[in-house]
């Protein structure tokens, strides 16, 4: 999946403890990156919204305690800006990927505002990868 790969050497990372009061920091970080790559104001808002939902899911559903680390990666692909939010997964409550759908409609919302969204199983947790394509020139 070319536009949703975050393997490029030029990538930015942010790690936060699994605390909901860190959401604003993650939104602002994502917005700075989106503005920096030239996304429109509407696209930047959608990136912030998706980031807020993805990190909330990682904290609430993918973390067992506040000292768990949520890792966020951003990279600029050829066709899109790509983000990946990784959580450690809860060891005591089953499959972290299945649990992401419980409760609210956060993932549905992310799917509505981003161009590609994919849940990825990782050893020791799960990840939500999402991207916003660049406008055609």
**DSSP track, 82-105:** EEEEEE---TTSS-HHHHTTSSSS
- Domain 2-133 belongs to what architecture? 2-Layer Sandwich (3.30)
Do the Cβ atoms of 8 and 76 come closer than 8 Å?
Answer: yes
On whether the CB atoms of residues 55 and 47 are closer than 8 A, the answer is no
Please name the helix (run of DSSP H) or strand (run of DSSP E) that holds residue 81, with its range, or none: strand 80-87
Domain spans of the chain?
2-133
Q: What does pTM read for this prediction?
A: 0.84
Cβ of 39: how many Cβ atoms within 10 Å? 21
pLDDT of residue 92: 45
Higher pLDDT, 9 or 22: 22
Average the pLDDT over each of 4-18, 29-43, 90-104, 109-123 and give the range with the smallest value. 90-104
> What confidence tier does 95 reach under pLDDT thresholds 50, 70, 90?
very low
Over residues 86-111, the mean pLDDT reads 65
The model's pLDDT over 39-62, given as tens digits with 9 standing for 90+, comes to 999 999 999 999 999 999 999 989
């Amino acid at each position: 999946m070319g536009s949703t790969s975050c393997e490029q050497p030029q990538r930015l990372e942010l790690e936060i403890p699994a605390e909901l009061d860190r959401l604003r920091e993650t939104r602002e970080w994502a917005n700075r990156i989106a503005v920096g790559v030239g996304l429109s104001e509407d696209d930047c808002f959608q990136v912030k919204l998706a980031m807020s939902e993805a990190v909330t899911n990682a904290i609430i559903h993918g973390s067992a305690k506040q000292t768990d680390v949520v890792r966020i990666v951003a990279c600029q692909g050829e066709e899109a800006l790509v983000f990946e939010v990784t959580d450690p997964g809860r060891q005591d409550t089953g499959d972290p990927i299945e649990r992401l759908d419980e409760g609210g409609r956060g993932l549905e919302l992310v799917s509505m505002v981003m161009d590609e969204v994919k849940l990825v199983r990782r050893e020791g947790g799960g990840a939500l990868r999402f991207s916003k394509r660049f406008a055609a020139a």
